[in-house]
Chain A
């Protein structure tokens, strides 16, 4: 039989262009142009969603109302990533957390920065640090940092 188990190496690299939709476009435009964070509000159950939803998943009715949320919020939970992976936005150690923006009822996942990772606590008040050059994506915010 064989004394060597042969492995064939390959790589698949596929480009994608994801449509963010009308609602997503409005959200990212406001982030890019005005450094503002907007949400949508269900006409029936009144829940405020960030990221903005076009339809309430529960009531299943169209949502038309927009409300401004944040920019400050509360850190609900977080983790400090200490392992390396190609998909990470920055090299470890770095912190990511879930921020509930003021007046929003859902969370937003983002990097937590502007502070030593050891100093991060659940329940901490945070605010967005906007980039100078913004292209219309979530990364127009560098990270959320503690409100001093």
Chain B
């Protein structure tokens, strides 16, 4: 299990579709400075830095060195981690591993992306095998659409069922000052928006954002000196399975997410996640995924997610609020996206989520999604882990 580790500070940039006022390094610095400020630390207090993004999105292959002015790692160990969509959660897990190992006391984890700087679809296709799948692949939206279509067919789910996810997340975003898209939408708006790849329409889909996020991880001894409201890392889990999209899209609920969640529940002794979890920050790239993957959280039977959502269970005042921050459908700076889930989960535990705070949240789950189709999951809590 390693040493106890807590999240003692988080920082996010002002996310937008294009941040032309800053270059990549300056964007990273904005998040780093805010995380340090939140923790009440200086750059000198940090022992090591873990940073990640997707190389193809900016054409920058050595962010560890390139962004030294912004990442705070001058003359310190800096490690770059890139795992596609899960980059942000993997950066968090790597930051946690650094401290849990006992080798480092305070570690800064940073995720960032400037999606405005390249062709996101062209870059994302590098996650499909070059000769088995890329020649006939339709891009990220089409990949998600195939899986959505399969789920609808299997469980009799409608486009309207899925639209409720987008409506929920966009409504929650109104209360998050850092969210990129902050405009309320209706089910009709979603259904009437342009079809991208059946059944996914424009408003079912996440945007592309410019933004960065940073988190400070600290050992138990350091945590005592930094804050009296730490967000303890209780569990982390990561699962990988298939090489090809073709295997994934026939899989129903996402197996890697299900297995990672079950691993966490078992290790934590969680019997009834629906009741025992207080909030979930879920990596939901499209409304359909947001539906299917609720099944994977193990909070309902397979195919039962639509009912939970339409019953209001996942709303801010429901039994298990999902994405109080507005989620990925409101903000998607890809290398930061997973890390924002972890930061938001920690903010809920430390009571720092402001207007989108879930009162009394003591146990929060954060998930990350990558390519075809792996998962990271972290469990964050207010009590000191065993």
Contact = CB atoms under 8 A, between A and B. Distances in A.
A83 B142 CA distance: 9
Interface stretch (B87-95, B118-126, B315-323): B118-126
Contacts of B149: 77-79, 122
Nearest to A110: B136
Residue of B136, B141, B196 with most partner-chain A CB within 10 A? B136
A89 interface: yes
Contact of A98 (B20, B194, B246): B246
Interface string B1-45: 000000000000000000011000000000000000000000000
B136 A83 contact: no
Contacts of B133: 109
Interface residues of B, number: 41
Contact of A5 (B20, B122, B147): B20
Nearest to B59: A12
B121 A18 contact: no
B192 interface: no
Given A10-B59, A87-B121, A96-B137, A79 B245 contact: no
B198 interface: yes
A138 B135 contact: yes
A41 B242 CA distance: 17
B197 A80 contact: yes
Interface string B142-180: 100111111001000000000000000000000000000
A109 B119 contact: no
A92 B242 CA distance: 28
Contact of A106 (B136, B138, B142, B244): B244
B249 interface: yes
B122 A85 contact: yes
B250 interface: yes
A111 to B, nearest CB: 6
B243 A97 contact: no
Interface in A61-119: 76-83, 85-89, 94, 96-98, 100, 106-111
A7, A16, A20, A78: which has the most chain B beta carbons within 10 Å?
A78
Contact of B146 (A7, A89, A96): A96
Interface string B99-130: 00000000000000000000101100100001
Given A16-B130, A77-B153, A78-B146, A111 B136 contact: yes
A24 B129 CA distance: 12
B145 A109 contact: no
Given A24-B131, A139-B136, A109 B245 contact: yes
Contacts of A24: 131-132
A76 B147 CA distance: 10
Contacts of B125: 87
Contacts of A100: 250
Contacts of A18: 130-131
Contact of B136 (A5, A76, A138): A138
A139 B249 contact: no
B270 interface: no
B247 interface: yes
Contacts of B142: 79, 81, 96
B65 interface: no
Interface string B212-246: 00000000000000000000000000000111111
B139 A87 contact: yes
Contacts of A109: 133, 136-137, 146, 244-246
A141 to B, nearest CB: 9
Contact of B135 (A86, A107, A137): A137
B250 A79 contact: no
Contact of B249 (A5, A51, A82, A107): A107
B150 A139 contact: no
B377 to A, nearest CB: 22
Contacts of B250: 76-77, 98, 100, 107
Nearest to A97: B146
A57 interface: yes
29 contacts: A76-B150, A77-B146, A77-B149, A77-B150, A77-B250, A79-B142, A79-B145, A79-B199, A79-B200, A80-B197, A80-B198, A82-B198, A83-B139, A83-B197, A86-B121, A86-B122, A87-B121, A87-B122, A88-B138, A96-B138, A98-B146, A98-B249, A107-B249, A108-B246, A109-B136, A109-B244, A109-B246, A137-B135, A138-B135
* 5 shortest interchain CB distances as A-B pairs: A107-B246, A79-B145, A77-B150, A5-B20, A85-B121
Interface of A: 5, 7, 10, 12, 16, 18, 20, 24, 51, 57, 76-83, 85-89, 94, 96-98, 100, 106-111, 122-123, 137-139
Given A5-B20, A76-B249, A83-B141, 10 more contacts: A12-B59, A20-B131, A76-B250, A77-B153, A79-B145, A79-B197, A85-B121, A85-B122, A87-B125, A88-B139
